[in-house]
Chains A and B, each alone.
Chain A
Amino acid sequence: MPYLILASATKSTLPAWVRELGLTLRILSRNPSAVLGGMIIMTMAFLALAAPFIAPYDPIMLSLPDRLQSPGSAHFFGTDELGRDIFSRILYGARISLTIGLLVVGVAGITGSLIGAVAGYFGGVIDNVIMRCMDVILSFPALVLALSLAAAMGPSLVNAILATAVVMIPKFARLVRGEALAIREMPFVAASRVAGAGHLRIIFRHILPNCLNAAIVLATLTLGDAILIAASLSFIGLGAQPPTPEWGAMIASGRKFLMDQWWYATFPGLFILVTVIGFNIFGDAVRDVLDPRIRR
């Protein structure tokens, strides 16, 4: 990667990873997609973090006299059937969706990477068995598998997160396995082994860190999908349960009132759309910059 060389050419007392991060950010800042996507993400993150402070109303408190009001100055996005302010609920929903995305990608990324590293490093029968298992998971359409897992485990937000993570694991496993197959042939791994390093140490010190870039690219690209699948699960009743203000669940509730109270289902979906667009655009830009396999 060219900027690694650039980084070491400058005299700096900062650790290497900080310098590399700085360079990556600088390259990204010149890419319009990255900037746009980044701004969307940061806006959503800000809304999520600041929700308790900027939400005009309590997201859970009922207020039946105000039920099903159309958008106006008192309630920007109107109210739902229990009189709750939809705007406030959307703000708190941002916290939930972003957390879902991060957790799903975190769990899938870490688990999948470990599985892939083990498969790629040890090779042979272990590799075969693990990869066949990954193939089996990939043989299910994503939502179908997430659905049956979430149904089996019981409807709850945590279960939806776990179910979605399981669906995403094979992607990470395959990626890291491929990298591991290449890395284990490299001289520094052999040197490490000669010096007495055990398998675990090699995996954690050599293989996994070298997969980091590709894994980060994959993580940013799958964040959007993770949010969509989790919202879909909530929509069919398997994820967040009432009164949790999750965007997908809100759309499910809003569906009943769609014809006469259009605002109820529209705004949460709009927020899902924009957030996922943000992650997708940003992810594409990150991939263009970080993926060592793309010729520039």
Chain B
Amino acid sequence: MRSYIIKRLLAAIPVLLGVTLLTFLISHAIPGDPAALIVGPKASKEAVEAIRIEHGLDKPLPIQYLRYMNGLLHGDMGQSIRNHRPVLRDLADFFPATLELTLASLFLCLAVGIPLGILAAVYRNRLADHITRIISVIGVSTPVFWLGLMLLLLLYRNLGWLPGSGRLDITSTAPPGITGLYTLDALLAGDLGLFWEALRHLILPAFCLSYVYLAVMTRIVRSSMIAALGQDYIITARAHGLSAGRIIFKHAFKNSLIPTITIAGLSFGELLGGAILTETIFSWPGMGKYVVDSITTLDFPAIMGFTLVASTAYVGINLCVDILYALLNPRIRY
């Protein structure tokens, strides 16, 4: 088991290197003079030249890449053009909000998607299954940003049930930051009113973000449950007198967990992508909104920093999924 984990870790390293390389190459495809961008439009030629030499922009590409990697290892992703703060600091500031949103969405995906999938599998080809299929197709086909707008229209403007932006009401202050997740921090601080407020702000964006991947999750759970329920050991379990509930929720489900977890892991990465759009719609102050703001101001260090962080997180999550996979499936551990 341990050697499996080590092998997986080692396999992830070249992928991470590739990610940094690709990000570096993309950032060098940016039109315009990066030195001029850093300094600003009013600078003199000498100032631009000085910046160019200082950042090593006159050196050949491989050398620049090594400087870039060196910087990364020291936590330096460059400075945001907008506010002249280190990009890494910016991202660290905005990360907890995105984490809270993504975790809430993942929770919704699993909490709704898994039961729906099991339902569709157990009542295969009957009404529950057909309804689930329709929900799934719609979910996979919906533009996340449009869904958010429609939710805002319905639940915020027309019905007034839920707030439309931000993590808290404008008048409130954030709870003492232990985890950075407002809901959790409010609970830890014992402030139930604030907890409820943070939760109300979280519901719409979390649901919006989760809807698409919930659809995928449902289909995967359904097909893997159907496959599991068709196996011989299910009949054996019945012949031994085990109850239907135990057979479905323990025996079949644990086997169907394996593809489910894999998809959940992949979904998490896609959630990071979808968060970009959701945070924009709901003015949720996370990394996604940060990068969209950076786009409108052409703040390339910020954009590239975000790209790197998001894909590194994705690689990390897939690594965890691989390990979880081995924990669940005793035949995989080599």
Contacts and interface: CB of A to CB of B under 8 A. Distances in A.
Contacts of A238: 295
Contacts of B280: 236
Nearest to B158: A262
Contacts, number: 138
B311 A152 contact: no
A235 B145 contact: yes
B145 A136 contact: no
Nearest to B280: A236
Nearest to A254: B149
Given A147-B276, A151-B303, A140 B310 contact: yes
Interface string B114-156: 0000000000000000000000011011111111011011000
A144 B315 contact: no
Interface string A198-238: 00000000000000000000000000100010011001111
Contact of A136 (B22, B140, B318): B22
A137 interface: yes
A133 B295 CA distance: 26
Interface in A123-180: 132-133, 135-137, 139-145, 147-149, 151-154
Contacts of A147: 276, 291, 295, 303, 307
Interface string B8-27: 00000011001101110011
B138 A277 contact: yes
B304 interface: yes
B69 interface: no
Interface residues of A, number: 44
A136 B19 CA distance: 6
A251 B149 CA distance: 9
Interface in B263-280: 269-270, 272-274, 276-277, 280
Classify the interface of chain B: helix, strand, loop or mixed.
helix
Contacts of B26: 148-149, 152
B195 interface: no
A50 to B, nearest CB: 24
Interface stretch (A2-10, A74-82, A84-92, A265-273): A265-273
A272 B276 CA distance: 19
Contacts of B22: 136-137, 140
A280 B137 contact: yes
Contact of A139 (B150, B276, B314): B314
Interface string A30-67: 00000000000000000000000000000000000000
B146 A269 contact: yes
B296 A251 contact: no
Classify the interface of chain A: helix, strand, loop or mixed.
helix
A141 B149 contact: no
Contacts of A186: none
A133 B29 CA distance: 18
Given A140-B307, A152-B27, A237-B296, A277 B141 contact: yes
A152 B270 contact: no
Given A269-B149, A276-B140, 17 more contacts: A135-B18, A140-B22, A147-B276, A147-B303, A148-B26, A151-B30, A151-B295, A151-B303, A152-B300, A228-B141, A248-B145, A251-B145, A251-B149, A266-B153, A269-B150, A273-B138, A281-B137
26 contacts: A132-B18, A139-B18, A140-B310, A141-B269, A141-B270, A142-B270, A144-B273, A144-B306, A147-B303, A147-B307, A148-B304, A148-B306, A151-B30, A224-B140, A236-B277, A237-B295, A237-B296, A238-B295, A251-B149, A255-B149, A258-B153, A265-B149, A266-B150, A277-B137, A277-B138, A280-B140
10 smallest beta-carbon distances between A and B, as pairs: A269-B146, A136-B18, A143-B273, A141-B273, A276-B141, A148-B307, A277-B141, A140-B311, A141-B269, A152-B29
